[in-house]
Amino acid sequence: MMTKKEWLACLEEMDHMFPDAHCELIHRNPFDLVIAVLLSAQCTDKLVNKVTANLFEKYHTPEDYLSVPLEELQQDIRSIGLFRNKAKNIQALSRLLIDQHGGRVPEDRDVLMTLPGVGRKTANVVVSVAFNKPALAVDTHVERVSKRLGLCRWKDSPLQVEETIMKKTPAEDWSKTHHQIIFFGRYHCKAQNPGCHVCPLFDRCREGKKRDKKGLVKHDAVTEIN
């Protein structure tokens, strides 16, 4: 398994590669962000942003989402996967925000997780991005990268991945680390055809070495980090 020193060296390289890594979900406020992250489940940020460009013009508050029939909201997000269930959750969480939180998004992760459709990943993103609190959300990119590098075990659950990364990363860097791993996974270490042949982390990467044994890596293009 990767040591803390090795992991921090990887993060330093990711920082060089993606110094401006950030949340790519477009939002105006914490409530918009909750909606956007909820919609992003099993969906790309690019598609979510396309849908919310119109959605956020029409809806601004929890009351707005409750002012229309469920079928109308479903039509508004129809191009998003699982749109029927997501529309139900949007209206349900809007009702709960109004009834129990004065229409405001709570800043506590555990309270956020009581909202319909809001799991640990969504809650971590919201507290980190909207409220600037130390948190580390594990999405498909974070899980894939951490396991490929050998920081985490292949059998680890998302919660175990989260705990491992937090344990080996300074708390003040959790939020930045989350975004940089996502950028690294989204634009470099992709699910299909990862960029091993130009990866500065190749010599430290468990998956890279595995692919190398299969003859899938062009060594003449690989760079190294000290």
43 is in an annotated binding site: no
**Percent composition of the chain: helix, strand, coil (DSSP 3-state, to 5):** 60, 0, 40
State yes or no: is 167 an active-site residue: no
Residues 170-197 as b/e (b if ≥16 CB within 10 A, e otherwise) read eeebbbbbbbbbbbbbbebbeeeebebb
State the catalytic residue, choosing from 86, 121, 168, 176. 121
Distance in angstroms (rounded) separating the CA atoms of residues 139 and 162: 10
**Hey, what amino acid is at 87?**
A
139 catalytic, yes or no?
A: yes
Amino acid at 151: L
Which residue in the list 76, 139, 168, 176 is annotated as catalytic? 139
Count CB neighbours of 11 within 10 A.
20
23 annotated among ligand-binding-site residues? no
Which segments are annotated as binding site for [4Fe-4S] cluster? 189, 196, 199, 205
Which segments are annotated as binding site? 189, 196, 199, 205
The catalytic residues are 121, 139
